[in-house]
Amino acid sequence: MDIDRVRYFNVFAETGSLVKASEILHISQPALSKALRLLETEVGMKLMQADGRGLKLTDAGRRFRNETGPLLSEWLNISKRVRDQETWRPSRLASFEVFTTYFLGHLLKYVDIENLEIYEFGPGRMEQAIAEERVDLAITYAPVPRAGVEFIEVTKIKMGVFGRETHLATPFGDLPFVVPLLPTEGTPSKMIGLDGWPDHLIERKVKYRVTMMESALEICREGHAVAYVPEFVSHLHNKRMLSEFRLNEFKCPVPVKERLQSVFLIRRQGAPETVLERQMAKSLRSLK
């Protein structure tokens, strides 16, 4: 079925006049009449009938108009939608809560991209999302090797033990820890928890396990436990809290060198460097 003839028919149906329809369509009246007759032949139905010196729709013509009108509108808008999708192509970023929540405000000071989508994935899943092209870039300090992705080390962040001052005099072995419930699997290092604590070297007393870091911080704020978190998270937390809820840094048995976590950007293997990647790397390097 010729789409132009369907369009001519719908314009005629809307105007009810061959003269007006030909003016709108910028074609001659004889050419329009011929196109409408050919359309009737194509569909095998009488769509119009004589009405005095003009034409009007038959019952079949009205049904044809009702059926084809929405479809014609969809068809004519396809190219516009494709152009819009090309214009509005979001940059898609993935990470876990340390970065999506606590680094986000800092990141947006450096990222100058209008359309940004942010997803939360754990280690392993974010690498999968990169490989499957569901996201463009990801941030991690627990890289999980996977075919089709590569890791770009951009900085190191310092980890520490933080909690309320009520625990400052407690021996390390008696400190109650709150730790991530989500373990890391497949990482090349020996760390077990998502917080990066070297469990294979130093044991700690784990009292709480939570999915969200904000839950861990709330437990710490209320003085029930301490947590092993990036220093920048503690600094951001303390800037926004009343003094009685601020967290103090505790003496940590993990050597300073081992408390430095490498932060990686994850991208598809062989992908060219993008503006977003450069801005994210700059933002990560500026963390204090």
At 39-80, the pLDDT tens digits run 999 989 899 998 888 888 999 999 998 998 888 888 877 766
Nearest-CA neighbor of 177 among 210, 212, 201?
210
pLDDT at 175: 96
**Arithmetic mean of pLDDT over the chain:** 87
Q: What is the pLDDT of residue 99?
A: 87
- Higher pLDDT, residue 68 or 108: 68
Q: Which class is 91-285 in CATH?
A: alpha beta
**Calpha distance 5→87 (Å, rounded):** 31
Q: What is the C-alpha to C-alpha distance for residues 160 and 251, in angstroms, rounded to an integer? A: 8
Whether 3-85 shares its CATH topology with 91-285 is answered no
Look up the pTM and report it: 0.64
User: Which parts of 52-136 fold into alpha helices (H)?
Assistant: 59-76, 78-87, 97-100, 104-107, 125-131
Check if the beta carbon of residue 231 is closer than 8 Å to that of residue 222. Answer: no
Res 208: pLDDT? 96
Beta bridge partners of 94: 119, 138
Q: What is the pLDDT of residues 157-183, one digit of tens each?
A: 999 999 999 999 999 999 999 998 865
Question: CATH assignment of 3-85, given 1.10.10.60, 1.10.600.10, 2.60.120.430, 1.10.10.10?
Answer: 1.10.10.10
| Domain extents in the chain | 3-85, 91-285
Check pLDDT > 50 for residue 191. no
Mean pLDDT of 219-228: 96
C-beta neighbour count of 114 within 10 angstroms: 8
Distance CA 223, CA 193 (A): 22
- Residue 190 has what pLDDT? 43
- 272 CB-contact burial (10 Å; exposed 0-12 / middle 13-18 / buried 19+): exposed
CA distance 268 to 270: 6
Determine the Cα–Cα distance for residues 31 and 23; give it in Å rounded to an integer: 12
CA distance 44 to 53: 24
The closest of 104, 105, 206, 192 to 161, measured between CA atoms, is 206
